[in-house]
Amino acid sequence: MIISWQLLIMLIFSCLFFAWFLYRPVKSGLSDDESNIAINKQRQEELAFDINQGLIDDEQFQVAESEIINTLANELKDKSSHSIEIKPMNWSIAIFILLSALSIAIYFQLSPKFLPSNQVLSEPMSMSESIEKLQTFLEENPDDFQALKMMGLAQIGIGNVDDSIETFERAYQINSSDIDLLLQYASAIAAKQEGQFDGKSKELIEEAFNLDPQSEQVLYFSGIVAAHEGDLKGAIELWEKALYLMPPDHPDRNIIEEALDTVMNLQVK
Amino acid sequence: MLIEVGHFALILALVISVILMVVPSIGLYQNKTSLSQLAKPLVWAQGFWITVAFFVLMSAFLTNDFSVKYVAENSNTQLPILYKASAVWGSHEGSLLLWVFVLSLWTVAVSIFSKRIPSNLINQTLIVLGAISFGFLLFLLFTSNPFERLMIPPVEGRELNPLLQDFGLAVHPPMLYMGYVGLAVPFAFVLSALIRGQLDSTWIRWTRPWTLISWSFLTIGITLGSWWAYYELGWGGWWFWDPVENASFMPWLVATALIHSLSVSEKRGAFKQWTVLLAIGGFSLSLLGTFLVRSGVLTSVHAFATDPTRGLFILIFLFVVIGGSLVLYTWRSSLLQQSNPFSMLSRETGLLINNILLVTAMLSVLLGTLYPLILDSLNLGKISVGAPYFNAVFVPIMIPGVIALAVFPYVRWKKDSVSRVFNLLKFDWICVVLLTLLSWIFITKNIFVIVAIGLFIWVVNHVMVLFLKRLKAKSKVTMAFLGMVIAHLGIAVFVLGATVTTQLGIEKDIKMTIGETQTIAGYDFVFNGVSPHAKDNYSGFIGDISVFKNNKKVTQLNPEKRLYQTGMPMTEASIDPSIARDLYVALGESLEGGAWSVRIYYKPLVRWIWLGGLMIALGALLAAVDRRYLVRVKS
């Protein structure tokens, strides 16, 4: 987690803002009674307007007017009581502690472990630069699951399959129930086996399927395993289900549709 | 670092909403004014940080910062700048941030324009609004964080859904959300009144203008959505009764009932229980719509399982809001018992009929929307409920409503007699019957169109006579009255436009070769061919069609067939608009021998649909600035 000076300024600015209003509160406006009196007075004026317009007759006017008076009588509470003074300093400190503790704790939970450098924003980092950066980070945080996963992906990206398998295995030892990791790990092993999804690779996909049989990605990979085993019907079922679950504009639809076409053509032949 | 500033701003807003729920509540409970008055500064600070977060995300889109996962998934360097800005709300995470941003705008607006509202009521209302924003910020940050980062940013982003690469995305969702989220304000007023046990004239008075404004935005949002679908989807339709449309239409129907019910509660102290239920119902339907659209349950009930966290969170939130409100309502119902009596024939009865019809219509839409989902989730098969069901059920419910809206403004409050109303309006009724008969003889024999013309004349006649009587009596024409006149005329304009375009519109789906002419409704469409066409974010073909009437050139239409990076083909219709009719052409597929399939539509009075919608919205806005809501009460 990175707490920079900008975030601290945001925090302090917020606390000072609230402290200012604790020392100098916003002026209180109307009371309920004042408001109800004004509104019912306005209603009486509207009633007078209605009778002048001929919208109601005298009898209706009398009834409606007494209703307004009764309503107002019921609404007036006379709950006038003096406001109790507070100690602004105590409340300012309490708000400061609450705001700081909660926001930093939540940010700690949600923030990325390290930030992409500014260089990334102007020109994309090369894959080897990414690996270097990740390696430095992993030296300090050897058990960071996300970083290990990213490292494995980056290593695959530069064609270093052996290293990626090793890295994915480290990540797997930390968290074996991450679907994304299971699929990436299986792909890396399959890449080493010339595209064959068998052995450990197949086991990993089965694990992912057991964890979430509704995931489109898992269904896609399970379909590949089925197709490799010659179970074309099973592959078609899995991919059709994946397509059914995918939103119509999902960018991966084309890949699954192509795979489905290929298998269907094979089945026809 | 800027992204982290946006991320942290959103977290600060969440924590501030917690403080907003706690500290001013202590102030109200213990009568410590300094603490209860802190509600406004808390709301301002929350609004400020949400605004910062929103614009940081927008800047990430504009500067192609693909280190943000959401940006990388919904934008790329080739996307035109307007679409980059509107892509902020083009997908799930951003549209929820827009929701939260709009809610903060409403909350800040309530805190600023509250000088005429009692302090305790306004502070309690801000606390309730803070609680709602807490729920949504929690949902946003923990299940749909738009600031999630990618450790290795991609060189290029993916593409925004081509359907959304349009000006309509820039205006339709913000307007719709202004309406959707705006219904949180009347809900918050009602809940505050229930919490405080102060169900007096004040909350009713101040709920109405906020309801009118949010209803107005909702009307504009739905109207813009209809217009967008009309020109963007290439099928010439303006309403499809699809579940997403229904999700916005149901709160609209309930909010329409609410503004009418509020007028009775405000003016005559009746319908208070009903008004409270409608305010709760309106916002609950807004949340239900969010659940339906955002949980993925509409794509398929099974899609819900692909992201159970999101769907479950909204479902729990929905349960807490509806359940909590109803528990409060039950607790305070004894305070709502008092209601002033009225007779069978009175304006109150008219507004009651209006409410019953609107709520029945909403229930029919709700049934049609949820029924296929329920069947699907119970594995009882897949069915589709479409326009035939909705038209058959919805239209007959609404026709009596349109008839009633013209007559009941003439009926007196509390008590009236049939003979007085009959004597007052008999010549108008004769006039309406005669004009409708003349339309039958000279204009059309189509029974649906005749009914629509009859309703149009009925409403316009009654509303204009009422308006002229007011002017003639030299009495003041209030903004509320003027708003009512314009909104009711808008209904008449909408009814005529919708019926005429549906019944008398002409559609031709044809094959055209170069130089070929097709004649539709007296217009000659000459196909001059198709040429390649490309822009930064797409390539494709552009057609060239000249339109003539009586051998005189009317317009040149250039429909497009676009192919975006994802390979998704898109049809861009070309339209010659006018108040009397639209000429609409869409390019289909390329056929053999240089021919193309072309869809040509003649759409009479189609613009009246959106004109009617805008008139209704304008009427509501005028009513919201009525003098009653502007006069300052001296403390």
Tens of pLDDT, residue by residue over A176-229, are 888 888 888 988 888 888 778 888 888 899 888 888 777 888 888 888 888 888
Q: In which band, very low, low, confident or very high, does the pLDDT at A120 lie, cut at 50, 70 and 90?
A: very low
Residues 173-232 of B with CB under 8 A from A: 198, 200-202, 205
**What gap in Å lies between CA A189 and CA A207, rounded to an integer?**
15
**What gap in Å lies between CA B194 and CA B42, rounded to an integer?**
23
Using CB atoms, pick whichever of B1, B155, B567 lies closest to residue A124: B155
Q: In which band, very low, low, confident or very high, does the pLDDT at A261 lie, cut at 50, 70 and 90?
A: confident
**What gap in Å lies between CA A153 and CA A178, rounded to an integer?**
14
pLDDT-above-90 percentage for chain B: 61
Q: Average pLDDT, stretch B273-291? A: 91
Question: Mean of the per-residue pLDDT values for chain B?
Answer: 89
Q: Average pLDDT, stretch A159-181? A: 87
Q: What is the DSSP letter of B162?
A: G
Residues 285-314 of B with CB under 8 A from A: 296, 299-300, 302-303, 305-306
Strands B523-535 and B538-549 turn out to be antiparallel
Residue A52 sits at the chain B interface (C-beta within 8 Å): yes
* Contact in structure between B307 and B296 (CB atoms under 8 Å): yes
Asked if B201 and A64 come within 8 Å (Cβ–Cβ), the reply is no
pTM here is 0.83
Query: Is residue A9 exposed (0-12), middle (13-18) or buried (19+ Cβ within 10 Å)?
Result: exposed
The confidence score (pLDDT) of residue A97 equals: 94
The confidence score (pLDDT) of residue B45 equals: 97
Pick the residue with more confidence: B28 or B339?
B28
Q: Is the pLDDT of residue B630 over 80?
A: no
Residue A56 sits at the chain B interface (C-beta within 8 Å): yes
Asked if B161 and A249 come within 8 Å (Cβ–Cβ), the reply is yes
Question: Mean of the per-residue pLDDT values for chain A?
Answer: 81
| Encoded tokens for B222 | 């739905």
**What gap in Å lies between CA B611 and CA B502, rounded to an integer?**
16
Q: Is the pLDDT of residue B299 over 60?
A: no
**What amino acid is encoded at A191 in this protein?**
A
Asked if A67 and B269 come within 8 Å (Cβ–Cβ), the reply is yes
Tokens 């059709």 belong to which residue?
Answer: A240
- CA atoms within a 13 Å half-sphere pointing along the CA-CB vector of A264: 11
* A47, closest residue in chain B (CA to CA): B267
CA distance readout (Å), A259 to A236, A237, A243, B124, B369:
9, 12, 11, 58, 34
Tokens 């189509």 belong to which residue?
Answer: B446
Q: Average pLDDT, stretch B52-64? A: 95
Residue-wise pLDDT for B532-585, tens only, equals 888 877 888 999 999 999 999 999 999 998 887 666 678 889 999 999 999 999
The confidence score (pLDDT) of residue B516 equals: 92
| Encoded tokens for B625 | 């600035």
The confidence score (pLDDT) of residue A227 equals: 83
Q: Average pLDDT, stretch B283-301? A: 75
Q: Is the pLDDT of residue A129 over 80?
A: no
Residues 130-159 of B with CB under 8 A from A: 141-142, 145, 148-155, 158-159
Distance to chain B for A211, nearest Cα, Å: 12
Q: In which band, very low, low, confident or very high, does the pLDDT at B298 lie, cut at 50, 70 and 90?
A: low
Asked if A18 and B42 come within 8 Å (Cβ–Cβ), the reply is yes
Q: Is the pLDDT of residue A62 over 80?
A: yes
Query: Is residue A195 exposed (0-12), middle (13-18) or buried (19+ Cβ within 10 Å)?
Result: exposed
Q: Is the pLDDT of residue A101 over 70?
A: yes
* Most confident range, picked from A70-74, B125-129, B169-173, B327-331: B125-129
Q: Of B173, B105, B161, whose CA–CA distance to B133 is shortest? A: B105
The confidence score (pLDDT) of residue A63 equals: 83
Q: Average pLDDT, stretch B150-161? A: 76
The confidence score (pLDDT) of residue A249 equals: 61
Q: Average pLDDT, stretch B190-203? A: 90
Q: Of B452, B401, B388, whose CA–CA distance to B241 is shortest? A: B388
Q: Is the pLDDT of residue B624 over 60?
A: yes
State the SS3 of chain A. Answer: CCCCHHHHHHHHHHHHHHHHHHHCCCCCCCCHHHHHHHHHHHHHHHHHHHHHHCCCCHHHHHHHHHHHHHHHHHHCCCCCCCCCCCCHHHHHHHHHHHHHHHHHHHHHHHCCCCCCCHHHHHCCCCHHHHHHHHHHHHHHCCCCHHHHHHHHHHHHHCCCHHHHHHHHHHHHHHCCCCHHHHHHHHHHHHHHCCCCCCCHHHHHHHHHHHHCCCCHHHHHHHHHHHHHCCCHHHHHHHHHHHHHHCCCCCCCHHHHHHHHHHHHHHHHC
The confidence score (pLDDT) of residue A250 equals: 66
pLDDT-above-70 percentage for chain B: 95
| Encoded tokens for B334 | 């004894």
Residue B341 sits at the chain A interface (C-beta within 8 Å): no
The confidence score (pLDDT) of residue A266 equals: 65
Residues 165-224 of A with CB under 8 A from B: 214-216
Task: Give the list of residues 6+ apart from residue B529 with CB closer than 8 angstroms, or none.
Answer: B514, B543, B544, B594
Helix (H) or strand (E) holding B16: helix B2-29
Q: In which band, very low, low, confident or very high, does the pLDDT at B398 lie, cut at 50, 70 and 90?
A: very high
B14-17 contact pairs (CB < 8 A, 24+): B14/A103, B14/A106, B14/B134, B14/B137, B14/B138, B14/B141, B15/A98, B15/A99, B15/A102, B15/A103, B15/A106, B16/A14, B16/A99, B16/B42, B16/B45, B16/B46, B16/B49, B17/B46, B17/B130, B17/B131, B17/B133, B17/B134, B17/B137
Q: What is the DSSP letter of B632?
A: P
Q: In which band, very low, low, confident or very high, does the pLDDT at B487 lie, cut at 50, 70 and 90?
A: very high
Instruction: Give B98's strand partners.
Output: none
Using CB atoms, pick whichever of B8, B16, B35 lies closest to residue A107: B8
DSSP result, B556-617: EE--EEEEETT--EEEE-EEE--SSEEEEEEEEEE-GGG-EEEEEEEEETHHHHHHHHHHHH
Query: Is residue B113 exposed (0-12), middle (13-18) or buried (19+ Cβ within 10 Å)?
Result: middle
Residue-wise pLDDT for B70-82, tens only, equals 998 888 888 888 8
Residue-wise pLDDT for A30-46, tens only, equals 888 888 888 888 888 88
CB pairs under 8 A between A and B: 231
* Contact in structure between B199 and B272 (CB atoms under 8 Å): yes
Q: Is the pLDDT of residue B300 over 60?
A: no
Asked if B116 and A30 come within 8 Å (Cβ–Cβ), the reply is yes
Q: In which band, very low, low, confident or very high, does the pLDDT at B303 lie, cut at 50, 70 and 90?
A: very low
CA distance readout (Å), B598 to A50, B240, B295:
60, 22, 37
Residue B413 sits at the chain A interface (C-beta within 8 Å): yes
Pick the residue with more confidence: A3 or B147?
B147
Asked if B117 and A29 come within 8 Å (Cβ–Cβ), the reply is yes
**What gap in Å lies between CA B116 and CA B298, rounded to an integer?**
43
Helix (H) or strand (E) holding B351: helix B347-377
Asked if A103 and B12 come within 8 Å (Cβ–Cβ), the reply is yes
DSSP result, B193-241: HHHHT--SHHHHHHHHHHHHHHHHHHHHHHHHHHHHHHHHSSS--S---
**What gap in Å lies between CA B408 and CA B51, rounded to an integer?**
45
Q: In which band, very low, low, confident or very high, does the pLDDT at A80 lie, cut at 50, 70 and 90?
A: low
Distance to chain B for A195, nearest Cα, Å: 25
- CA atoms within a 13 Å half-sphere pointing along the CA-CB vector of B610: 23
The confidence score (pLDDT) of residue A68 equals: 85
**What gap in Å lies between CA B337 and CA B342, rounded to an integer?**
15
Q: Is the pLDDT of residue B223 over 50?
A: yes
Q: What is the DSSP letter of B412?
A: P
Q: In which band, very low, low, confident or very high, does the pLDDT at B302 lie, cut at 50, 70 and 90?
A: very low
Q: Is the pLDDT of residue B305 over 50?
A: no
Q: Is the pLDDT of residue B304 over 50?
A: no
| Encoded tokens for A4 | 């920079």
Question: In this structure, what are the phi and psi dihedrals at residue B114, rounded to the nearest 5 degrees?
Answer: -130, 20
Report chain B residues whose CB lies below 8 A from the CB of A115. 1, 4, 67, 149
Q: Is the pLDDT of residue A3 over 70?
A: no
Query: Is residue B361 exposed (0-12), middle (13-18) or buried (19+ Cβ within 10 Å)?
Result: buried
* B633, closest residue in chain A (CA to CA): A38
The confidence score (pLDDT) of residue A191 equals: 83
The stretches of B233-346 forming alpha helices (DSSP H) are 243-268, 272-294, 303-306, 308-332
Q: Of B326, B312, B325, whose CA–CA distance to B138 is shortest? A: B312
* Contact in structure between A15 and A95 (CB atoms under 8 Å): yes
Q: Is the pLDDT of residue A122 over 60?
A: no
Report chain B residues whose CB lies below 8 A from the CB of A129. none
Pick the residue with more confidence: B309 or A69?
A69
Q: Is the pLDDT of residue B612 over 90?
A: yes
Tokens 């990540």 belong to which residue?
Answer: A171
Angle (nearest 5°) at CA A29 between A28 and A35: 145
Q: In which band, very low, low, confident or very high, does the pLDDT at B405 lie, cut at 50, 70 and 90?
A: very high
B529-549 as b/e, with b when 16 or more CB fall inside 10 Å? ebeeeeeebbebbbbbbebbe
* Contact in structure between B73 and B156 (CB atoms under 8 Å): no
**What gap in Å lies between CA B29 and CA B32, rounded to an integer?**
8
Q: Average pLDDT, stretch B413-423? A: 87
Residues 560-579 of B with CB under 8 A from A: 566-568
Residue A55 sits at the chain B interface (C-beta within 8 Å): yes
The CA-based dihedral angle spanning residues B125, B219, B390, B185, taken in that order and rounded to the nearest 10 degrees: 0
Q: In which band, very low, low, confident or very high, does the pLDDT at A2 lie, cut at 50, 70 and 90?
A: low
Tokens 């006649």 belong to which residue?
Answer: B461
**What gap in Å lies between CA B272 and CA A243, rounded to an integer?**
50
Residue B45 sits at the chain A interface (C-beta within 8 Å): yes
Q: Average pLDDT, stretch A231-240? A: 84
Q: Is the pLDDT of residue B66 over 80?
A: yes
**What gap in Å lies between CA B380 and CA B371, rounded to an integer?**
11
Pick the residue with more confidence: B592 or B464?
B464
* A28, closest residue in chain B (CA to CA): B119
| Encoded tokens for B573 | 């219709």
* Contact in structure between A85 and A99 (CB atoms under 8 Å): no
* Contact in structure between A31 and B118 (CB atoms under 8 Å): yes
Task: Give the list of residues 6+ apart from residue B45 with CB closer than 8 angstroms, or none.
Answer: A14, A17, A18, B12, B16
Q: What is the DSSP letter of B408?
A: G
Cα torsion A162, A167, A172, A177: sign: negative
Q: Average pLDDT, stretch B582-596? A: 89
Radius of gyration of chain B (CA): 26
